């Protein structure tokens, strides 16, 4: 206890007393998330700037403590910010400056604590829009979402896996400061801006791309204090359409046809239950509403921009209609319980509170991974078989398919909704289904919790090199100790 008090004092010397907390109600939010349990948060500290972050890392190295960075508000869903064993939580929410917005170059520079809720209206004022994942938590850090490779809902803007994140400032586990992309210099950000630059080149500097090593690392390689973020133009005209169909294969065919020539803006595929969960704020209504939907629905948007917006929308709609006809499907402006206008609002905002996936039963677990669109039906069959095995009604599983990288692959997400008291059963299904899906070829590219064992068992060569990288960037394992494939002795 004395040791802890000494540590708290040292932490306070970095961030100030008022920014060190051991309040139980706060610490409890870092004990479990998703399927990850058993975290032992010792304190929550809230640094104000990069200097303090670096001091914290140096202190952690000196004292041998584990730092777990967290930028978003609860609820915590994946477990990446739950310490494995003891840990000091570094809450980045005080670093919430929107440092710069640049209309001409369509870019924002934001600190880690900036949430979608804060950023969207500011960006909107400039006639721009933020590239968002589907219904992020209201308190979700934009930077954290990017670091987690959460898929954005407009595949044509998803050129590469780092999108929409561009340049970053990193504090490695060594305590060293680093900047990536064209932010690296020469010069300060201000000097670069004065020279016309806007931190838009996401690569480098030079011959490494540490942002890619840090992205997806669940905070095990570096803390990220700020990033530049690409923004896109807000359409002059925007319409949402639905393509409901009984056969997922037809919708996938339609999706391939449409995404190849980059038709549409937003593009996602939902099954009836996931769609109903999104559009109905009344939990009681969700089962019936799901029953009224087609088994699967493509939701897409078309846009016209500054120049000839009507003409753009017109050609897109004509071409999409042709592709729909060829695929044997057709588009509508509404589905039961949701007009296109309503869907437009849903897709443009973070989730209302409580988080929308809580609506049906109060709790949920997601299983998601990457695959290609054509493989999605096969994985759905695996998941349905698992659900049946555990007596979970298959029609109550949420299915969300998000094409990414301009349609070259897809994020496939299953959601198991359950009453909190049924958590053990849900966990059984989750574990078994995760294993079955992994065996069937699911690529758990974001291996939270137990998925890391499944994912890394398949790629021992990658693990060998990743461990060396970890030892280079975080030699004392002070960053989110024991996560991913970086187990260390004595920490379970």
Residues from 9 through 38 that contact another protein (CB under 8 A) = none
CB of 441 to another protein, least distance (A): 5
Number of residues that bind another protein (CB under 8 A): 99
CA atoms 325, 329, 335, 336: torsion sign: positive
The correct pick among 16, 250, 256, 384 for binding another protein (CB under 8 A) is: 256
Measure the CA–CA gap between 443 and 36, rounded to whole angstroms.
20
Rounded-to-integer distance, Cα 271 and Cα 290, Å: 9
Q: Would you say 199 or 297 has its CB closer to another protein?
A: 199
Kindly state whether residue 48 participates in binding another protein, applying the rule CB under 8 A: no
- Does position 366 interact with another protein (CB under 8 A)? The reply is no
Segment contacting another protein (CB under 8 A): 18-26, 179-187, 349-357, 379-387?
Answer: 179-187
- Does residue 149 belong to the site contacting another protein (CB under 8 A)? yes
* Binder of another protein out of 69, 116, 178, 417 (CB under 8 A): 178
For residue 4, the minimal CB distance to another protein (Å) is: 30
Least Å from the CB of residue 272 to another protein: 26
187 binds another protein (CB under 8 A): yes
Distance CA(110)–CA(148), nearest Å, equals: 16
Residue (321 or 385) nearer to another protein, CB: 321
Interface region with another protein, contact rule CB under 8 A, candidates 12-20, 276-284, 401-409, 418-426: 401-409
Written as one string, the DSSP assignment of 246-282 is S-HHHHHHHHHHHHTTT--SSEEEEEHHHHHHHH-S-
Give CA–CA dist 392/43, Å, rounded. 39
Identify residues 96-135 at the interface with another protein (CB under 8 A): 104-106
Question: Rounded to the nearest whole angstrom, what is the least distance from the CB of residue 409 to another protein in the complex?
Answer: 5
Site for another protein in 448-487 (CB under 8 A): 451-452, 455-456, 458-459, 461-462, 464-466, 468-469, 471-472, 484-485
Site for another protein contains 217 (CB under 8 A):
yes
CA dist 249 → 177, 254, 269, 328 (Å): 48, 9, 11, 10
List C-alpha distances in Å: 152 to 73, 336, 406, 430: 20, 25, 11, 24
81 near another protein, judged by CB under 8 A: no
What is the rounded CA–CA span in Å between residue 342 and residue 348? Answer: 10
Distance CA 345, CA 329 (A): 25
* Between 330 and 445, CB nearer to another protein: 445
Query: 171-207 in b/e burial notation, b at 16+ Cβ within 10 A?
Result: bbbbbebbbbbbbbeeeebeebbeeebbbbbbbbbee
Minimum CB–partner distance for residue 419 and another protein (Å):
31
Look-up of token digits 């500011």: 122
Q: Residue 335 in contact with residue 293, Cβ under 8 Å?
A: yes
The span from the CA of 392 to the CA of 429, in Å, is 8
Q: How far is the CB of 245 from another protein (least distance, A)?
A: 19
Shortest approach of another protein to residue 318 CB, angstroms?
5
Residue 12, H or E segment: helix 2-15
Residue 62 Cβ, how far from another protein at the closest point, in Å?
Answer: 16
Q: Which CB, 5 or 462, lies closer to another protein?
A: 462
| In contact, 269 and 400? CB cutoff 8 Å | yes
Concatenating the DSSP letter of every residue in 209-225 gives -HHHHHTTSTTSSEEEE
Which range, of 117-125, 158-166, 331-339, 340-348, touches another protein by CB under 8 A? 158-166
Based on the shown chain and the rule CB under 8 A, indicate whether residue 378 belongs to the binding site for another protein: no
417 binds another protein (CB under 8 A): no
Cβ atoms 332, 243 nearer than 8 A = yes
Single out the residue of 4, 332, 408, 439 in contact with another protein (rule: CB under 8 A).
408
Q: Please state, in angstroms and rounded to a whole number, the distance separating the CA atoms of residues 229 and 6.
A: 39
| String of DSSP letters for 140-157 | -BHHHHHHTTPPBS-GGG
- Binding string, residues 424-453; x marks residues near another protein by CB under 8 A: -----------------xxxxxxx---xx-
Nearer to another protein, 201 or 432 (CB): 201
- Whether residue 4 contacts residue 42, with contact meaning beta carbons closer than 8 Å, is answered with yes
Which one, 185 or 420, has the nearer CB to another protein?
A: 185
Report, in Å, the least distance between residue 260 CB and another protein: 5
Tell me whether residue 195 or residue 246 sits nearer to another protein (CB atom).
195
CB closer to another protein out of 260 and 341: 260
Q: Which of residues 197-216 bind another protein (CB under 8 A)?
A: 197-216
Site string for another protein, 226-255 (x = CB under 8 A): ----x--x----------------------
Q: How far apart are CA 430 and CA 393, in angstroms?
A: 14
């Amino acid at each position: 206890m004395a040791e802890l008090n000494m540590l708290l004092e040292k932490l306070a010397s970095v961030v100030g007393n008022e920014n060190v907390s051991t309040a139980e109600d706060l610490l409890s939010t870092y004990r479990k998330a998703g399927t990850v349990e058993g975290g032992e948060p010792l304190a929550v500290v809230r640094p104000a700037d990069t200097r303090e972050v670096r001091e914290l890392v140096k202190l952690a190295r000196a004292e041998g403590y584990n730092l777990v960075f967290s930028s978003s508000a609860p609820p915590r869903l994946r477990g990446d910010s739950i310490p494995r064993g003891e840990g000091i939580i570094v809450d980045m929410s005080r670093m919430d400056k929107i440092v710069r917005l640049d209309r001409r170059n369509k870019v924002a520079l934001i600190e880690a604590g900036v949430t979608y809720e804060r950023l969207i209206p500011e960006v909107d004022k400039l006639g721009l829009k933020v590239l968002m994942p589907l219904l992020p938590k209201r308190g979700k850090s934009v930077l954290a979402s990017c670091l987690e490779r959460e898929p954005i809902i407009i595949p044509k803007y998803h050129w590469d896996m780092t999108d929409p994140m561009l340049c970053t400032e990193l504090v490695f586990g060594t305590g060293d400061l680093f900047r990536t992309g064209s932010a690296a210099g020469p010069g300060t950000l201000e000097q670069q801006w004065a020279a016309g630059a806007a931190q838009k080149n996401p690569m480098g500097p030079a011959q490494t791309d540490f942002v890619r090593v840090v992205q997806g690392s669940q905070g095990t390689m570096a803390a990220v204090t700020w990033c530049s973020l690409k923004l896109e133009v807000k359409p002059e005209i925007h319409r949402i359409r639905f393509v409901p169909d009984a056969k997922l294969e037809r919708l996938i065919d339609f999706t391939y046809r449409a995404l190849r020539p980059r038709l549409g803006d937003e593009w996602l595929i939902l099954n009836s239950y996931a769609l109903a969960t999104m559009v109905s704020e009344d939990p009681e209504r969700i089962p019936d509403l799901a029953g009224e939907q087609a088994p699967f629905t493509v939701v897409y948007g078309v846009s016209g921009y500054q120049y000839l917006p009507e003409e753009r929308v017109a050609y897109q709609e004509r071409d999409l209609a042709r592709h729909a006809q060829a695929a044997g499907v057709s588009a509508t402006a509404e589905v039961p319980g949701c007009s296109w206008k309503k869907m437009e609002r849903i897709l443009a905002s973070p989730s209302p509170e409580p988080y929308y996936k809580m609506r049906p039963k109060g709790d949920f677990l997601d299983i998601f991974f990457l695959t290609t669109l054509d493989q999605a039906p096969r994985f759905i069959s695996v998941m349905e078989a698992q659900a049946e095995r555990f007596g979970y009604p298959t029609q109550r599983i949420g299915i969300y398919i998000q094409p990414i990288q301009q349609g070259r692959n897809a994020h496939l997400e299953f959601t198991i909704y359950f009453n909190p008291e049924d958590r053990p059963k849900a966990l059984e299904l989750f574990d078994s289904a995760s294993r079955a899906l992994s065996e069937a070829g699911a690529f758990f590219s974001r291996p939270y919790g137990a998925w890391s064992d499944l994912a890394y068992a398949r790629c021992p060569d990658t693990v060998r090199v990743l461990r060396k990288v970890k030892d280079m960037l975080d030699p004392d394992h002070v960053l989110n100790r024991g996560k991913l494939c970086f187990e260390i002795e004595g920490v379970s």
